[in-house]
Structure 1
Amino acid sequence: MEIVYGDDGEFSNGTYGSLFERQHNSSPSVIVIGGGISGIAAARMLHDASYKVILLESQDRIGGRIHTDYSFGCPVDMGASWLHGVCNENPLSPVIRRLGLRLYRTSGDDSILYDHDLESYALFDKNGNQVPQSIVTEVGVAFKKILEETDKVRNEQSNDISVKEAISIVMDRNPDLRQEGVAYEVLQWYICRMEAWFAADAEDISLQAWDQEKVLTGGHGLMVQGYDPVIKDLSRDIDIRLNHRVKKIVNGYKKVVVMVEDGRSLVADAAIVTVPLGTLKANVIKFEPKLPEWKLSAISDLGVGIENKIALKFEHAFWPNVEFLGIVATTSYSCGYFLNLHKATGHPVLVYMAAGALAHDLEKLTDTAVVEFVMLQLKQMFPNATEPGQYLVSHWGTNPNILGSYSYDAVGNTVDIYDRLRAPVGNLFFGGEAVSLDHQGSVHGAYSAGILAAEACQKHLMQRFESSLETNPLAAAAASCRDEPLEASVPLQISRL
C-alpha cells in the first residue's frame, strides 16, 4: 500500500495523475473505509486472501454502532445487542459458535413484539398500576389483526403511504379493533415497540415495504457477553488505522486516492466504503468525481432512524424478575421500555430504549437530564426506586461518526433503492447494513454486506488483472466461508431463564 504525504493536504506534485500510474504489483491493494462489522468483514476476507488491506476508522475504536461498554464491571451493549435469527443459517453463527458465546433467547419466530415474547414482562400505567396481563394479551391479538388489515390498505393504494396512516384507515373501517382506556394505552405501547424495530416513527415508515424484510428463523437472542468478542475476533491482525477520518475519495481510472483529515493520502487499486448511511447523507465524505445521481438519490431517499440506550446500574435489583418493563401512555411517543439485563446476565442493570422522535429529543438534553427523565418513568412503576450508581447514555443521532442507528424504508422509497445503494461506482464498492440483500438494520445483514462488497471488489480486480477464478485466493476464502455445514458440531449456546 502506497502512502503519499503532502505539505498542505494535497499531493506533493499537485496532481493525481502520477499516483494513478503506479505499476501494479503481485497483490492488489484495497482501502476499507469504516470500521463497523461490515468493514471488518470485508477487510477480514481480503486480508485472509493475501490482499493488501488497510482499514480506516474515524473513531478511536472499531465496531461502529457495535459498542460493548465494560465500565459497569460487566458487558453492556450500547448499540447492537441482539442476534436476529438464532439459527445455523445466520452468517454470524459460525463465529459465535467458535467463540463459545452465549445467547439469551427473548423471542421465537412469531412474536408480535419482534424481539420479545409476551412471556416475561410487566406493563404499568401512568399511576403506577400494573396492567392486567389479560388486557395486554387481548390488545396484542387486536394489534396483530390491525397490522394484517394494513395489507388490504396497501393493495388499494396507488401511491405509498405511511404505516400510521394505514393504521388509521384500518381503525376507521373496523370499529371492533378500536381500544379505549388503558387498552388504548397498551395499543400505543405496541406501536411504540414496532417503531423501535425500525428506529423511526410510524408516520415515517413505508406501508409498501415495512413488512417485506426476510427475517431468519430461530427468534431473537441477546448477546450475553456482548458483541465485542465478535468484533475482536474478526479484526485480528488486520491493519487498522484509528482516528483516520476520511474527507475525500478520488475515484480514478485504475486507482483510488483516499484523503484523510490530517492531510495524508493513501492510494490503492480499489476501495470499499462501509460508513454509516447517516454520514453518507450528510456528505461527510466528498467524492471526486461526484457520485452519479442514481446513487445520490438512493442515499438521500432511504430513511435512517435513531434508537438510543440509557443504561442504569443499581446496587441491587428492586424490580420484578421479568425480561422487560414498560410504561403505557396515550401516545406511542410517551410510552417507555426497559430491558432487564439482570434477568439475562445476573447484573443489576436496566437499559431504557428510546427510538424515533423521542430519541431525537433526548439527544438535545444533557446526560444528567436524560437520566432524570428515565428515572421519573422508573419511579412511576417503583416509587421506592433507588438512584443508579452509574449510567451510560448513547448519542447515535448526533455522533458525527455515525449520525443515526440503522436504515428503514421511508414513505415513497422505490423498489430498486437497495440495488442502487449496493451498486459499485468505478473502483468504489459499498457495504454496510443499508446495502444488505435482505437483512437491513441487523448485525448479520451488515456482516453479509461487507462480505458481498469484498467479493464484488475481488471480481473487479480479477478481471482487471486477468486472474482466473480458480487461482484467486479470495474466491477460495469466500467459498470456504459459505460452504460451512449448517449443522455444526458445536451448537449455539442458547438459554431462556
Structure 2
Amino acid sequence: MESGNKSSALCYSSSTNGRQARSASVIVIGGGIAGLAAARALHDASFQVLLLESRARLGGRIHTDYSCGFPVDLGASWLHGVCEENPLAPLIGRLGLPLYRTSGDNSVLYDHDLESCAFFDLDGKRVPQELVAEVGKTVENIMEEANKVRQECSEDMSLRRAFSLIFERRPELRLEGLHFKVLQWYLCRMEGWFAADADNISLNCWAEEELLPGGHGLMVRGYLPVINTLAKGLDVRLGHRVTNIVRRYNGVKVTVEDGRTFAADAAIITVPLGVLKSQSIRFEPKLPDWKEAAIADIGVGIENKIVLHFEKVFWPNVEFLGVVADSSSSCSYFLNLHRATGHSVLVYMPCGQLAKDIEQMSDEAAANFAFMQLKKILPDASSPIRYVVSHWGTDINSLGSYSCGVVGKPQDLFEKLRIPVDNLFFAGEATSSSYQGSLHGAFATGLMAAEDCRMRVLERYGELDLFHPVMGEEASISVPLLITRM
C-alpha cells in the first residue's frame, strides 16, 4: 500500500461511476482518520473527491508498523469507549476486528484494571497491590478537591498548582515514602493521557474531559484495516504536501510543494494542529483573526512509543509494568503486548518534556534509554532483538501527538477551530469540542465536516433537498447511522 516515492502520486481508485463533469467537487487535505472519514462520506454522496496526503502512507497519526513481523500501532492503538455510542464501533464491528479490553472503567486514571498491573520501585522491589489501590483512593479524593478548587477560583491554573493548593488546605492528603512515589505514578498516567506535563495541563481542560462509556479496548490487529477500508475506492495522492490554499467565492485552489495546483468547489482541512501552527500552509486570503487565535492558543502534547521486541517473555504476566519514583517525570510504564497479541513485546511510552528530550536521541539511544528503565525494575532483562521508535513531535507531518488545553485559555477554542471559513471546512481531533485528542473525536469531526460541506456546496448549486439528502446507496459506511451513534 505504501509508495516508495514520496513525491509520486498514488491513486487508490479513481472511478467516477458515470458522474457528470459538473459533479460537486471537494479536496480533502490530510489522510488521517478525519480526512478519510470526510472523503469516504462525500465519495458515497456522489461527490468528486480528491484526497491529498503529504506522507507516503495513509493514516496520519495512526501508523501500524510491521517491521517486527506483526502489527504494532506506533500512534493511536485504543478504542476509548467500547460502546455503541462510539462512532468508530460499528465500523470496527463490521470488520470483525478483535479488541482486547484493558479496562471496563471509563476514566482517565484507569485505562488498565489495577489487578492486571505490576508496580515496582527503582530498586526493583514489587509494590504491594493493596498499597497502589489505597493511593488510588487518595488520588480520587484529590481529584474531587481539584473540582472544588476549579469552581472556587476565577482563574485557570495548572494541574500541579491545583495539587499544591489542595495539599495546603488538606494536609492529610499529603503522602510520604512509597505512597508518595505511587502518587507520582498516578500523576504520570494523567500526564500521559494529555501528552503533557502537569505544569502545562489546564485544570479547566482536565475537569471538562469527557469519556465515552464502556472502558478501553486495545486494537489487537492494529488500526490499519480501518484505514484501508475507509480508503477503498478513493482518489488518493500520496507525497502531496499542500503549501498554499486560495479560497474564492466560486471555489478553492490548492497548491502542493512541487507547484502543481488542484481546484474544487470546497476543501476540508484535516492536517494536525501542529502543522497548522507551523504555518507551512499559506492561506489566501489569510484566515480570520479568531481562527488564527484558536490555532495559536490550543496546545499540542507529545507522547511517543518505543517498541522493544524480545526473543522471549521474561516479565510478569500482567498488562503493563508501572515504575514508581520520586517525581512523575521519573515514573514510567511499559505496555505488555504479549497479553493481548501473543508477541513478546513491551512498549515504553514517554510523554511531555521527557518525550521531547528522547526525540533528540538516535533511535538506538532511545531504545537503550527505554531498556535501561526496564533494567531498573527487572535486572535480569535480556536485550531486545528489535526496536521501533516513534517521533511524533519532530515529524514534519504531525509536529505533535494530539491537542490539549493550555492554562488560562478558553475552552471554546476547539469548537472555533472546527467552524468553517467560507468554503473551507476543518476537521481533526483538535476540532472536537468534547473528545479532542481522541480517535473517535477525529472521526466524528470528519463526518460533520463532510455533511456541512455537502450541504453548503449543494445549496450553492441549488440542488439541496433537506428531505432527500444525496447519499450513495452503495456506500459501504452509513454516515447517518454513524452520526446518530455519536
CA contact (8 A) 2:253 2:263 kept: yes
Matches for 1:243-262 after TM superposition, within 5 Å: 243-262=239-258
| Equivalent residue in structure 1 for 2:302, among 288, 303, 306 | 306
Q: Check conservation: 1:311, 1:392, Cα contact below 8 A.
A: yes
Pairing partner for 2:479 from 447, 467, 481? 481
In structure 1, the residue matched to 2:431 is 435
Distance across 1 between alignment mates of 2:415 and 2:438? 18
> Identity rate of aligned residues, in percent?
59
Match of 2:48 in 1: 52
Give the corresponding residue for 2:7. none
| Structure 1 pair 182–479 and aligned structure 2 pair: CA distance change class (3 A) | closer
Q: Retained in 2: the 8 A contact 1:215–1:439?
A: yes
Return the alpha-carbon distance in structure 1 between the equivalents of residues 483 and 459 of structure 2: 30
Residue of structure 1 equivalent to 2:120: 124
Distance 2:479 2:48 in 1: 20
User: Is residue 2:446 matched to residue 1:453?
Assistant: no
Cα pair 2:444 2:483 within 8 Å, conserved: no
- Tell me how far 1:471 sits from its aligned partner: 4.4
For 2:400, the equivalent position in structure 1 comes to 404
Q: Aligned letter for 2:373?
A: Q
Aligned partners of 1:437 and 1:449 also within 8 Å: no
SS at match of 2:315: coil
Question: Relative to structure 1, is the Cα distance of residues 214 and 176 closer, same or farther in structure 2, using a 3 angstrom cutoff?
Answer: same
Counterpart Cα distance in 2 of 1:479 and 1:196: 33
Identify the range of structure 1 (77-86 vs 170-179) with the bigger mean alpha-carbon deviation. Answer: 170-179
- Segments of structure 2 that go 5 or more residues without pairing to the other structure are 1-19
Residues 1:250 and 1:112: Cα distance change in structure 2 (over 3 Å): closer
Letter in 1 for 2:147: D
Deviation at 1:372, TM superposition (A): 1.2
CA-to-aligned-CA distance 1:113-145 (integer Å, 9 cap, x gap): 241121211111111111111211111111111
Q: 2:95 aligns with which of 96, 99, 110?
A: 99
Partners of 1:481 and 1:312 in 2: CA distance = 39
Structure 1 residue 26, shift from structure 2 partner: 3.0
- Return the match for 2:105 from 93, 105, 109: 109
Change in Cα spacing, 1:111 to 1:31, as seen in structure 2 (3 Å) is closer
1:71 Cα offset (Å): 1.3
Structure 1 ranges of 4+ moved more than 6 A: 475-479, 484-487
Match of 1:179 among 158, 162, 175: 175
Answer with 124-133 or 222-231: which moved more: 124-133
Pairing of 1:172-321 with structure 2 (within 5 A): 172-321=168-317
* Cα displacement (A) at 1:173: 1.1
* TM-aligned CA distance change 1:158 to 1:437, over 3 Å: closer
1:69 is matched with which residue: 65, 68, 91? 65
Verify the 8 A CA contact 2:447 2:479 in the aligned structure 1: no
Per the alignment, residue 348 of structure 2 pairs with 352
Which deviations, in whole Å up to 9, do the C-alpha atoms of 1:336-369 show, x marking residues without a partner?
A: 1100000111100000001111111110111111
Secondary structure at the aligned position of 1:337 is classed as strand
Where 2:347 maps in the other structure, the secondary structure is: strand
Q: 1:111 to 1:41 in 2, by over 3 A?
A: closer
Structure-2 separation of matches of 1:486 and 1:473: 18
Structure 2 letter corresponding to 1:392: V
Letter in 2 for 1:304: V
1:462-490 alpha-carbon deviations (Å, 9 max, x no partner): 21111123444149879943336999xxx
Alignment match of 2:163 (pick from 163, 167, 175)? 167
The 1:284–1:141 alpha-carbon spacing in structure 2 relative to 1, beyond 3 Å, is same
Tell me the alpha carbon deviations over residues 28-79 of structure 1, each in whole angstroms, 9 at most, x when there is no partner: 1100000000000000001111100000000000000000011111110000
* Matched ranges for 1:315-330 at <5 A: 315-330=311-326
For 1:478 and 1:304, locate their aligned partners in 2 and report how far apart those are by CA, in whole Å.
34
Structure 1 residue 242: Cα displacement: 0.2
SS of 1:248's equivalent? strand
- Measured against aligned partners, the alpha-carbon deviations of 1:275-328 in whole angstroms (never above 9, x if no partner) come to 000000111101010111000000000011000000010000000000000111
1:163-194 alpha-carbon deviations (Å, 9 max, x no partner) = 11001100111111111111111111100000
Please state whether the residue corresponding to 2:388 is helix, strand or coil: strand
- Compared CA separation, residues 432 and 485, structure 1 to 2 (3 A): closer
- Separation in structure 2 between the aligned mates of residue 484 and residue 240 of structure 1, nearest angstrom: 23
Could you say what secondary structure the match of 1:217 adopts?
A: coil
How far apart in 1 are the matches of 2:96 and 2:222?
12
Classify the secondary structure of the residue corresponding to 2:403.
strand
Query: Please, which of 101, 117, 129 is the counterpart of residue 133 of structure 1?
Result: 129
Could you say what secondary structure the match of 2:192 adopts?
Answer: helix
Supply the distance in 1 between the matched residues of 2:272 and 2:482 (Cα, whole angstroms). Answer: 29
- Whole-angstrom distance in 2 between the partners of 1:89 and 1:469: 25
Alpha-carbon offset, residue 415 of structure 1: 3.1
State the Cα deviation string for residues 220-242 of structure 1 (Å, max 9, x = none): 00000100100001110100000
Q: Tell me the distance in 1 between the aligned counterparts of 2:227 and 2:433.
A: 22
User: 1:490: which partner in 2?
Assistant: none
CA RMSD of aligned residues (A): 1.8
1:366 aligns with 2:362: yes
Map residues 329-344 of structure 1 onto 2, 5 A cutoff: 329-344=325-340
Distance change >3 Å, CA 287–CA 66, structure 1 → 2? same
**Aligned counterparts of 1:109 and 1:350: Cα–Cα separation in 2:** 23
What does residue 152 of structure 1 align with? 148
Give the Cα–Cα distance (whole angstroms) in 2 for the partners of residues 482 and 80 of structure 1: 25
Query: Shift of the alpha carbon at 1:213?
Result: 2.5
Match among 444, 458, 464 for residue 460 of structure 2: 464
Aligned to 2:35: 39
Do 2:305 and 2:349's aligned partners in 1 also have CA atoms closer than 8 Å?
A: yes
Q: Distance in 1 between matches of 2:59 and 2:477?
A: 25
Q: Determine helix, strand or coil for the equivalent of 2:334.
A: strand
Give distance in 2, aligned partners of 1:48 and 1:195. Answer: 40
TM-score by length of 2: 0.93
Partners in 2 of 1:338 and 1:485 — Cα distance? 35
Match of 1:493? none
| Residues 447 and 483 in structure 2, CA contact (< 8 A), matched pair in contact too | no
CA distance in 2, matches of 1:86, 1:110: 9
2:440 counterpart residue number: 444
Please give the secondary structure, in 2, of the residue aligned with 1:32: strand
**Letter of the aligned partner of 1:292 in structure 2?**
P
- Letter paired with 1:425: V
How many Å separate the matches in 2 of 1:344 and 1:248? 44
What is the SS of the residue equivalent to 1:97?
helix
Contact 1:462/1:469 (8 A) holds in 2 = no
Structure 1 stretches lacking a partner, 5+ long: 1-23, 488-497
Deviations 1:402-428 (A, max 9, x none): 000111111112132122101111110
Corresponding residue for residue 14 of structure 1 = none
Deviates more, 1:152-161 or 1:293-302: 152-161
Q: Which amino acid aligns with 2:405?
A: D
User: Which sits farther off after the overlay, 393-402 or 138-147?
Assistant: 138-147
